[in-house]
């Protein structure tokens, strides 16, 4: 369980990939908006961006918010598989994308858990993944 998405998740919170200035600005804007919703501390966000696992309900809410704003999750909190696949194709082959989605997209008890565990699993498979276009 020492693995984590780097975003928004997200990623989140995404720091592993070399993002462009425009992507960084977009990530930061979304992160600030989600921080207001989730109440997660900037310190926790910074830890996640450096790859430190933070199993915190506020962070999970933040990841879900980030996922929704990047289109990876629907408003209902379900994973938008087609959007996720399209974003994964920037860092993986079609075959890898299908394997990652099959392995990582697993519905959990809550939308927050689903989003958090999905990005954690993706980060384990592809640490350079970013949901930011």
- What is the pLDDT of the chain when averaged over all its residues? 85
| DSSP reduced 3-state for 17 | coil
Give me the domains of the chain, ranges plus CATH numbers: 21-125 (1.10.238.20)
Q: Is the pLDDT at 53 greater than 90, yes or no?
A: no
pLDDT of residue 49: 81
Tens digits of residue pLDDT in 16-31: 457 789 988 999 999 9
111-133 burial, b at 16+ Cβ within 10 Å, e below that, comes to bbbbbbbbbbbbbebbbebbbbe
The structure's pTM equals 0.83
pLDDT grade, residue 13 (50/70/90)?
Answer: very low
pLDDT grade, residue 133 (50/70/90)?
Answer: confident
pLDDT of residue 131: 87
Q: Is the pLDDT at 97 greater than 80, yes or no?
A: yes
User: 114: which 2 tokens?
Assistant: 């689903």
């Amino acid at each position: 369980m020492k693995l984590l998405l780097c975003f928004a998740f997200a990623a989140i919170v995404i720091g592993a990939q070399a993002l462009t200035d425009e992507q960084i600005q977009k990530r930061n804007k979304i992160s600030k908006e989600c921080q207001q919703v989730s109440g997660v501390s900037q310190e926790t966000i910074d830890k996640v961006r450096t790859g430190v696992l933070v199993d915190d309900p506020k962070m999970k809410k933040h990841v879900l918010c980030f996922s929704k704003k990047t289109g990876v999750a629907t408003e209902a909190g379900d994973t938008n598989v087609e959007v996720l696949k399209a974003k994964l194709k920037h860092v993986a082959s079609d075959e890898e994308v299908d394997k990652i989605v099959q392995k990582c997209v697993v519905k959990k008890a809550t939308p927050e858990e689903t989003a958090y565990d999905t990005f954690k699993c993706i980060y384990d498979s592809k640490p350079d993944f970013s949901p930011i276009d």
